[in-house]
């Protein structure tokens, strides 16, 4: 069976060494040595000044909204993402206002944001979808002009660099996910990346119930992560450069085999990509379903990343149309991509795709 992804796992002995040390210390959670070490190593590796390791990438988005004191109002966001981008906004009782995507990166169309700004707008929440950058310069300029904070959901952007810096370094706050399906993972986990001491202090307080010992300072939640999760991250981080080299080789093999047969996004040239996903765009939904079925028959399971377009979620109060996102969501498929996917299997997957589309 070939799934869309396969979690990277370090050599068992490497992880077990951390586990033994953790059990010996008996310090299992609450800002233990592995959590602190992972935070330090991630900041170093990604070149970031402030980073808080949290329990997942969804609560990271909720903390970002709370750190900016956004408790109501409209959040301008993209309909083309994983559901957590929008559900975190709704869970915080804010209103998502959808702006359609542009067709090179499938990220929010910066040129359409201004028209969606109202007196109730509280923030812009972009998503670096597949690890491709939003139009950061244009969004920054708009945000400054309208005095709005920018939150980037960077769940898929780990180790993507743009204009010589980590993609996670942009915006007022960026979040990341370290879920087992992501390029770098801690089984479950995520991070909130801030750009100043005061936002960092708020996040680090809120993620552990808002108190320092007996001093209760602000409303908080439990978004801490454990020593065992941090240890998985410490093991995996060493392998990230190697993982990216291998994923790049897989992507380039697909490029070669699929050239001319399918459409692909066109990320900007100044992106140093992390090869997190391999999305292909089929002619229409019928073609997508045929390709999916043909692959499934051979026990190959690509995923409809991302479907449905989130402006069509059934539990939204108000329906907003986003024609480009809806169109892309109806015909985009992410092919299996992981470090040790064999050239043989890449060839097999490509030949099935080509056979169906021709």
Ligand X SMILES: *Cc1c(COP(=O)(O)O)cnc(C)c1O
The reply to whether 78 sits near ligand X by the rule CB under 6 A is no
Minimum CB distance to ligand X, residue 82 (Å): 4
How many of the other CB atoms lie within 10 Å of CB of 24? Answer: 8
Strand 190-194, strand 50-54: pairing: antiparallel
Minimum CB distance to ligand X, residue 352 (Å): 26
- Asked if 223 and 64 count as a contact pair (C-beta separation under 8 A), the reply is no
Residue 322's contacts (CB-CB under 8 Å, 6 or more residues apart) are: 79, 80, 98, 99, 100, 101, 309, 311
The reply to whether 276 sits near ligand X by the rule CB under 6 A is no
Between 253 and 272, how does the x/- string for binding to ligand X read (CB under 6 A)? --------------------
Gap between the Cα atoms of 58 and 104, Å rounded: 26
Task: Report DSSP state, residue 222.
Answer: B
Minimum CB distance to ligand X, residue 38 (Å): 15
Residue 242's contacts (CB-CB under 8 Å, 6 or more residues apart) are: 339
Nearest to 233 by CA among 87, 67, 62, 51: 51
- Asked if 231 and 225 count as a contact pair (C-beta separation under 8 A), the reply is no
The residue among 102 and 201 lying less far from ligand X, judged by its C-beta, is: 102
Among 38, 42, 64, 127, binds ligand X (CB under 6 A): 127
Between 30 and 59, how does the x/- string for binding to ligand X read (CB under 6 A)? --------------------------xxx-
Gap between the Cα atoms of 307 and 224, Å rounded: 30
The reply to whether 179 sits near ligand X by the rule CB under 6 A is yes
Q: Which helix (H) or strand (E) holds 12?
A: helix 12-25
Minimum CB distance to ligand X, residue 261 (Å): 27
Q: Which stretch binds ligand X (CB under 6 A): 23-31, 67-75, 77-85, 107-115?
A: 77-85
Among 62, 85, 174, 251, binds ligand X (CB under 6 A): 85
Tell me the site size for ligand X, rule CB under 6 A: 14
Q: Which helix (H) or strand (E) holds 53?
A: strand 50-54
Q: How far is CA 22 from CA 9, 16, 71, 141, in A?
A: 19, 10, 38, 46
Among 77, 78, 81, 311, binds ligand X (CB under 6 A): 81
Minimum CB distance to ligand X, residue 344 (Å): 29
The reply to whether 156 sits near ligand X by the rule CB under 6 A is yes
Among 74, 153, 199, 326, binds ligand X (CB under 6 A): 153
Which residue has the closest beta carbon to ligand X?
57
Gap between the Cα atoms of 85 and 155, Å rounded: 9
The residue among 171 and 258 lying less far from ligand X, judged by its C-beta, is: 171
Between 181 and 210, how does the x/- string for binding to ligand X read (CB under 6 A)? ---------x--------------------
The reply to whether 82 sits near ligand X by the rule CB under 6 A is yes
Residue with tokens 């589309």: 357
The reply to whether 177 sits near ligand X by the rule CB under 6 A is yes
Give the binding site for ligand X (CB under 6 A): 56-58, 81-82, 84-85, 127, 153, 155-156, 177, 179, 190
């Amino acid at each position: 069976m070939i799934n869309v992804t396969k979690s990277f796992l370090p050599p068992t002995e490497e992880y077990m060494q951390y586990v033994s040390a953790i059990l010996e210390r008996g310090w299992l959670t609450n800002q233990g040595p592995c959590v602190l070490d992972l935070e330090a190593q991630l900041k170093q590796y990604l070149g970031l000044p402030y980073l808080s390791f949290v329990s997942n990438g969804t609560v990271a988005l909720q903390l970002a909204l709370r750190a900016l004191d956004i408790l109501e109002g409209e959040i301008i966001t993209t309909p083309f993402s994983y559901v957590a981008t929008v559900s975190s906004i709704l869970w915080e009782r804010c209103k998502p206002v959808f702006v359609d995507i542009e067709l090179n990166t499938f990220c929010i169309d910066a040129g359409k944001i201004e028209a969606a700004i109202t007196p109730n707008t509280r923030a812009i929440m972009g998503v670096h979808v597949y690890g491709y950058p939003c139009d950061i310069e244009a969004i920054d300029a708009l945000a400054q002009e309208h005095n709005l904070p920018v939150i980037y959901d960077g769940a898929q952007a780990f180790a993507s660099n743009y204009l010589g810096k980590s993609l996670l370094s942009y915006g007022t706050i960026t979040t990341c996910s370290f879920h087992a399906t992501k390029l770098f993972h801690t089984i479950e986990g995520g991070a909130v990346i801030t750009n100043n001491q005061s936002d960092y202090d708020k996040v680090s307080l809120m993620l552990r119930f808002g108190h320092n010992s007996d001093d209760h300072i602000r409303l908080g939640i439990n978004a801490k992560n454990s020593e065992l999760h941090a240890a998985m991250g410490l093991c995996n981080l060493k392998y990230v450069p190697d993982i990216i080299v291998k994923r790049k080789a897989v992507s380039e093999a697909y490029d070669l085999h699929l050239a001319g047969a399918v459409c692909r996004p066109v990320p900007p040239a100044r992106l140093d990509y992390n090869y997190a996903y391999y999305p292909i765009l089929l002619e229409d939904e019928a073609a997508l379903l045929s390709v999916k079925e043909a692959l499934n028959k051979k026990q190959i399971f690509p995923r409809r990343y991302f479907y449905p377009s989130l402006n069509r979620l059934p539990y939204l109060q108000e329906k907003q149309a986003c024609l480009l996102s809806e169109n892309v969501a109806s015909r985009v498929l992410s092919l299996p991509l992981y470090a040790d996917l064999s050239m043989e299997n890449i060839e097999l997957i490509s030949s099935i795709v080509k056979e169906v589309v021709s």
